[in-house]
Structure 1
Amino acid sequence: MAEETKTTKKEVTKKAPAKKAQTGKATTRRGPGGPRRGGRKPFVKTPQEFDQKIIDIRRVTRVVAGGRRFSFSVACVIGDKKGRVGVGIGKAGDTSLAIQKAARDAKKRLIKVALTEKHSIPHEVEAKFNASKVIIKPTKGQALIAGSSVRNVLELLGVKGANAKVLSRSKNKLNNARAAVKALKQL
């Protein structure tokens, strides 16, 4: 039996002679280095045009007849540090999918803000979103003084010199971030 297998292996190698690839035409060879015919495209990671920060991840529960169903809710801030920023939310059964949905939602809600030469805002702005109230002031120095999600919004916007304060008692990170974006829309 061992001899039979050897002969069949030799026959297989003789039956499949190597073909030379013609220039200008795609080869039908598949494997390492060979082109693909249809199917999925190879994964190529493209450089991201936006930086993102997750400001809140929550596991939420839905009660159904069979018990409890868990899913995740993610609040995300994206920005290019050149004057564009957006806040979005995403919900999914998996955290990575929820993060992707939140980033996609934030891209839809992008705003453009004209910054000064010193990477600050031109004048003082104030806004209220639901129970959250935020005030943002420009500073002379190069320091960003802000708390929680308002700081994330200003960092991803590209602001390096500003002073921000959350005037309400609200600890809702998403509403604070949206109040900051609403204030920045006034510029």
Structure 2
Amino acid sequence: MAPAASRLRAEAGLVALPQRALAQYLRLLQLYPVLTKAATSGILSALGNFLAQTIKKRKKENGSQRLDVGGPLRYAIYGFFFTGPLSHFFYLFMERWVPPEAPWAAVKRLLLDRLLFAPAFLLLFFVVMSFLEGGDAAAGAAKVRLPHRAGPQAASLHQRPFPISLFPPCNNLRFLEVTVTGDLCPHLLSSGRAGGG
């Protein structure tokens, strides 16, 4: 009887693991919001790039393409130092500038995000990525003027699947949603395109 009870406790612990992990994540968001968001963004950005490369490699007929280990590292650096902190402060700014109770708040926030933040963020993305790849800032900025040549990175920053948050304002899960839909999903969606990953 003791082994069965022990097994039941172990299974119950495994079931509760996601709940405990989420509770710990939310606690870290309360204690260290910028650092937690930076780490989340860095990890998910690197994971998205790695998965996109893996999917692209599997789709190749000969499978001889090697994974670029520098890609996930570059995306982790960008996610940790730029995406996480900038998103944190931008959404704080947006909550103060366009309060949730304001008329048309969701539309105003969407327009502010898409017309102000997204273009500036796209420019920053290409400049930083160009620098991290050993190029110069001008080459990265030139990609913004030529989005049809920019590849899937332009799509990943311009076409987030969920532009309006599913979570209410001030909810810490909103950042996780934006990070997953903005960093991880586009890499996976663009992995099948030419030049993706």
Tell me the TM-score range normalised by the shorter chain.
under 0.3
Q: Larger relative contact order (C-alpha < 8 A, sep ≥ 6)?
A: 2
Calculate the TM-score normalised by the size of structure 1: 0.28
Calculate the TM-score normalised by the size of structure 2: 0.27
Which has a greater percent of helix? 2
- Bigger CA radius of gyration: 1
